[in-house]
Amino acid sequence: MVNQKESAQGASRKIAVLKLGTSTLTDGDGRIDRAFLADLAHQVNRVRASGWKVVIVSSGAVAAGLDEMSLPLVRPKDIPTVQAASSIGQRALSAAYDQVFSPYGIITSLVLLTRRDTADRNAYLHARDTFGRLLDFDVVPIVNENDTVSVEQIKFGDNDTLAALVACLVGADRVVILSDIDGLYTANPQKDLDARLIPHVERITPEIMAGASGAGSNVGSGGMITKLTAAQVLGAAGIPLVICHGRAQDAVIRALDPAPIGTLFSAAHKPHEITPRKLWIALGDSIRGRVVIDQGARFAIVEKGKSLLPVGIVSVEGDFSCEDVINVVDEDGFVVGRGLARLDSAQLRCQVCGEASFAEVAIHRDDLVLFE
């Protein structure tokens, strides 16, 4: 029976978001590894006993669905098959989590999200309240993208970004990505024998982003680049991120230590106030385009906390509307921030070229999230 009293820890409770990728959840044959899940539940029970609340962002629904239907365990190319596999797999995956957590008296819940559930600010706030109440009830939410109905998420989405979004929703104290790699390396360790693990990263540089590799499993959709993008947003929110090998012994327990295994990403300082609205801008909607800015504009928005003006924009990329979310990129290709456009792409191009004047501000500072 659910304990409906408020958490005794109150505002001081520690919240961990654990993200499990498909390559971590599945065995060598591409099937959901029940033994791994059982060990995960054991570790979660131990960290909960030490004061952590836990939210799990889980991949694996498509893999579970393909297995249930006796189809080849390789991510299908056509959307309807992916959606069908996800629909069947969500049921199987949810049952598997319930089975391994129930011996510890832990209740799990299933939360399926799409960008439509977070792009609207009111829906975003309702989702935040729901997560808060689930944690008050001492439930372990199991979160996944709702691939059954969301074509865009299947095609472009990844659970690294979803984990960052959930972490911001619940006000997490740490995010742990349980991956099939030990952490971030100086080079691809599968190709470079001299590659070294980087234990701590305070700033994600263009060089680090350029060295990121792709997805690691036949049925997964993420890769190191999505993990680094999530780390950027979490750094702006002041939430540490750990990337570690999910199958290392006691990986969850060790990843929540003050000096964790793997790679710890932490911001040296919070550059400006990260309000719930700015977190929603950073993670709640898909990116519709981007603007490239010069060094003067970069200095103004990063060091002076100013709004982005059209005069500092070098070029406009993509087709977007007013109030769409766009990236702000410097001339080296580094994503400096993200914000809501005050003009559509056509108007902004005209203003940048000096052909017309529509507004003095391209992105207002109240609608701009900085990643450094």
Per-position DSSP letters for 332-351, written without gaps between them: TS-EEEEEE-SS-HHHHHHH
Burial class, 107, CB count within 10 angstroms (exposed 0-12 / middle 13-18 / buried 19+): middle
363 pLDDT band, cuts 50/70/90, is very high
pLDDT score of 157: 55
Q: Supply 202's token pair.
A: 């305070």
Q: What would the mean pLDDT of 124-141 be, rounded to a whole number?
A: 93
d(CA 91, CA 350): 51
Answer yes or no: is pLDDT of 7 > 80.
no
Answer yes or no: is pLDDT of 122 > 60.
yes
pLDDT score of 16: 98
- Reduce the DSSP state of residue 155 to 3 states and report it: helix
221 pLDDT band, cuts 50/70/90, is very low
- On whether the CB atoms of residues 340 and 324 are closer than 8 A, the answer is yes
Which runs of E-coded beta strand occur in the chain?
14-20, 52-58, 108-113, 140-145, 174-179, 200-201, 241-245, 263-265, 289-293, 313-317, 325-330, 335-340, 368-370
Average pLDDT of the chain to the nearest whole number: 85
Answer yes or no: is pLDDT of 61 > 70.
yes
263 pLDDT band, cuts 50/70/90, is very high
d(CA 168, CA 163): 9
pLDDT score of 150: 58
Q: What would the mean pLDDT of 95-102 be, rounded to a whole number?
A: 96
Calculate what percentage of the chain has a pLDDT beyond 90.
49
d(CA 178, CA 217): 14
Burial class, 136, CB count within 10 angstroms (exposed 0-12 / middle 13-18 / buried 19+): middle
Region for residue 107 given its phi and psi (left: phi exceeds 0; alpha: psi -120 to 50; beta: otherwise)? beta
Answer yes or no: is pLDDT of 156 > 60.
no
Q: List phi, psi (to 5°) of 246.
A: -65, -20
Answer yes or no: is pLDDT of 312 > 80.
yes
d(CA 154, CA 138): 31
pLDDT score of 58: 93
d(CA 346, CA 316): 9
Structure confidence by residue, pLDDT tens digits, 269-300: 554 556 767 877 887 667 899 999 999 999 99
138 pLDDT band, cuts 50/70/90, is very high
pLDDT score of 216: 47
Answer yes or no: is pLDDT of 214 > 60.
no
d(CA 52, CA 33): 25
Q: What would the mean pLDDT of 15-37 be, rounded to a whole number?
A: 92
Calculate what percentage of the chain has a pLDDT beyond 70.
86
Which comes out higher in pLDDT, residue 113 or 253? Answer: 253
Which range, of 101-115, 130-144, 279-293, averages the lowest pLDDT? 279-293
- In the block, residue with structure tokens 């750990």: 242
Q: What would the mean pLDDT of 68-85 be, rounded to a whole number?
A: 85
- CA nearest neighbour of 169 among 225, 219, 113: 113
Answer yes or no: is pLDDT of 3 > 70.
no
Q: Supply 23's token pair.
A: 């390559």
Angle ∠(52,57,62) on CA atoms, nearest 5: 155
The DSSP line for 237-294 is HT--EEEEETTSTTHHHHHTSSS-SSEEE--SS--S---HHHHHHHHSS---EEEEE-
What is the helix (H) or strand (E) element at residue 1, kind and residue range?
A: none
pLDDT score of 250: 97
- On whether the CB atoms of residues 142 and 94 are closer than 8 A, the answer is yes
